[in-house]
Structure 1
């Protein structure tokens, strides 16, 4: 299991019990959803978060952070930030921000 996968699994365990998130798939990638909408996903060696506002600004400012381009064709998704497992300690906070953001869209 990769470091990113291990960090993602921690989020799955926490959020499926505490926040009633549901495991699912988006673009063929495993993800967590609330109300049918994805807010966290695992892609290759990164964990990606759907963020806005201050949470997005803080996440994209981290070393090696990039906007997520799931197709790999130079079309990044502006709200999604991909982070390596080196930022794992920040993942619970980012996941909570992503959860709240997506839940507010319902």
Structure 2
């Protein structure tokens, strides 16, 4: 089950989404959770009071060094490759990692 996000988390997620709109990113869903896509590829998502991002190795390792950040496991018992979960407490970096994820997914 996907955790319900707080109003603060939704507002921070909405700000990230709005910041990416001019790059062609649209809102969608993945595994029943809100996500941001470019074409059919998922860039980021919202999971409770956190955002998930698909990142290349160096930015991923950097993100994992932040307090509270962990590999993203949507509840299947194993983390998804390249994905990290960044909590609301670290929402100041969400736009930066969203930009990194967009660049990575675009290839």
Count of residue pairs brought into register by the alignment: 102
CA distance in 2, matches of 1:73, 1:32: 21
Aligned-residue offset at 1:78: 2.2
Uncovered stretches (5+) of structure 2, i.e. residues with no partner: 1-5
Aligned-residue offset at 1:53: 2.1
As a proportion of its length, which structure holds more strand? 1
Uncovered stretches (5+) of structure 1, i.e. residues with no partner: none
Cα deviation per residue 1:33-52 (whole Å; 9 max; x = unaligned)? 01211011001111110001
CA distance in 2, matches of 1:100, 1:32: 13
Q: Which runs of 4+ in 1 moved over 2 A?
A: 1-4
TM-score by length of 1: 0.89
> What's the C-alpha RMSD, in Å, of the aligned pairs?
1.2
CA distance in 1, matches of 2:83, 2:103: 14
Aligned-residue offset at 1:101: 0.3
Cα deviation per residue 1:51-104 (whole Å; 9 max; x = unaligned)? 01221111111111111111x232111211001111111111100000000000
Match of 2:23 in 1: 19
